[in-house]
Structure 1
Amino acid sequence: MFEWINFSLLIISCILFSVLYAFSTMPATLSKKIGEKAWKACKNLRIIASIFETLTLLTSLLWIWYPISQLDWEIFHRWWIGLILGSLIIIPGAIVVYKGVKDAGKETLTPSQDTEMYGGIYNYIRHPQTTGEMPMFPALGLALNSWFLFILLSVFIIIYVPIIQYFEEKDLVERFGDSYKQYQKITGAFFPKWKSWKLVFKKKEEN
């Protein structure tokens, strides 16, 4: 019985996390409809979304002890192989996420009209937090040695990432205008472009 409850919570958490986070990335767009309170509403949505993200991870971990027998497919006969491979992917991803959170500052959870475009790792990629998270979700399936989790979380990321990118970038253009459009041209969404490296090197030479 509990395994079905856990399974249901896992699916629901993935969906609610995606939907709520997508709405939380659109404060400028929503402010046209509901005014200044859109910024606080997006902060609250982002906090709630992070709770469902955490619940997604917890229910994934509980799958170890409470799998649905029909979906309990092992990837490796020796579980520690998956743990090692998954960890080799999760750790670098977590470092990239941490760097993105650090450089975004309060904007990570609290979108603000006063926020200026970020620096740091954002000089190289526009969405470092997503870049770090993308491989971490499927890697969790590897680490837990579960084909079901690996497939589910891979499909989740494939659907989630382009949706979030679309809504977030649309709002960022609304907030920052031509400056962000120019930033899009020289900076890769998830991986660095050569243009972004050239710009950084140029700034260093000027300094």
Structure 2
Amino acid sequence: MPDFFSDYVIPTAIFLAFALMHSITASHAFKTKLFELSPKFKVWYRVLYNLISILLIAFWWITLPQDQILYQLSGLLFFLFLTLQLFFVYLFLKSIFAQNGMVFLGIKQILLNLREGQLPKYLDEPRRGKLVTSGLYRYMRHPMYTFAMLVLICSPIMTSNLLYSIIIFGLYFWIGSYFEEKNLIKRFGESYVQYQKNVPRFIPRLRIQK
């Protein structure tokens, strides 16, 4: 069994570097200053941001220690948890594309620039857009984070590295969402403040306020 206090020191340091980079470069203030220096960088920013994030996560993953199985479900329970995983993957993807997935990935920004020579009008996005409060966002403010965690938790095979990932991603989503919402308040103002009051961050209420 890996020792969580020694074998995971390097991966944790790398993950903290990723989390710091991810939060700083996503901030309203950072992007505003950067685009003042180079407005044309708006077009490629979101794609590069996503690619660098993926590379850092991949680097983090390969530094994890040798994995060991903690438990493995079998029979009906195995297929039940696997089905739940697939269902939560679907909801995770649905929550991404509810926020305009092509913009989220940065593809639309590049296409608009190549076709029309258009620069993003709101930081690294084509326009400011509107606050999405329908669908999954009616029940929780961060469904992407909720369903990403459920995908990990519902694995029918739990390993030491997966357990570590659940812990560290859970902490990151909890802390990171706080800073993310500060940017969203700057973007949407009082509308987002009211949304915060009416809708929980991660776990839906049994009774939804209208």
Task: State the TM-score, normalizing by the size of structure 1.
Answer: 0.66
Equivalent in the alignment of 2:87: 92
For each residue in 1:36-66, what CA deviation from the matched residue of structure 2 results, as whole angstroms up to 9, or x when unmatched? 558557512233213444x279759xx8xxx
- Is 1:45 the counterpart of 2:49? The answer is yes
Give, in angstroms, the shift of residue 167 of structure 1.
Answer: 1.3
> Contact between 2:15 and 2:60, CA under 8 Å: does it hold in 1?
no
Deviation at 1:86, TM superposition (A): 4.8
Question: C-alpha offsets along residues 134-172 of structure 1, whole Å, 9 cap, x if unaligned?
Answer: 1223444x53x42x1232112212321112111110110
Taking the aligned partners of 2:14 and 2:76, their CA distance within structure 1 comes to 28
In the alignment, the residues of structure 1 paired with residue 75 and residue 17 of structure 2 have an alpha-carbon distance, to the nearest angstrom, of: 32
Greater RCO, CA 8 A, separation 6+: 2
Change (3 A) 1:124 1:74: closer
Measured at CA, do residues 86 and 160 of structure 1 come closer, stay the same or move farther in structure 2, by a change above 3 Å?
Answer: farther
Which residue of structure 2 aligns with residue 18 of structure 1? Answer: 19
**Structure 1 letter corresponding to 2:29:** T
State the alpha-carbon separation in 1 of the partners of residues 162 and 130 from structure 2: 37
In 1, the alpha carbon distance for the partners of 2:95 and 2:26 equals 16
Q: Shift of the alpha carbon at 1:127?
A: 0.8
Question: Percentage identity across aligned positions?
Answer: 20
Q: Is the 8 A contact 1:20 1:45 kept in 2?
A: no
What pairs with 1:132-151 in structure 2 (closer than 5 Å)? 132-140=147-155, 142-143=156-157, 145-146=158-159, 148-151=160-163
Unaligned runs of at least 5 residues, structure 1: 1-6, 200-207
Superposition deviation, residue 198 in structure 1: 4.2
**TM-score, length-scaled by structure 2:** 0.65
2:114 aligned partner: none
Q: Does 1:103 align with 2:117?
A: no
Q: Secondary structure at the match of 2:191?
A: helix
Question: Structure 2 regions of 5+ residues with no counterpart?
Answer: 1-7, 107-123
The counterpart of 1:126, out of the listed 137, 141, 144, is 141
- Give 1:72's aligned amino acid: Q
Specify whether residues 124 and 72 from structure 1 end up closer, same or farther in structure 2 by C-alpha distance, changes over 3 A only.
closer
- What root-mean-square deviation, in Å, do the aligned CA atoms of Structure 1 and Structure 2 show? 3.7
Partner of 2:169: 157
**Distance across 2 between alignment mates of 1:20 and 1:48:** 10
Return the structure number with greater helix share. Answer: 1
Question: Could you tell me which amino acid in structure 2 is paired with residue 154 of structure 1?
Answer: I
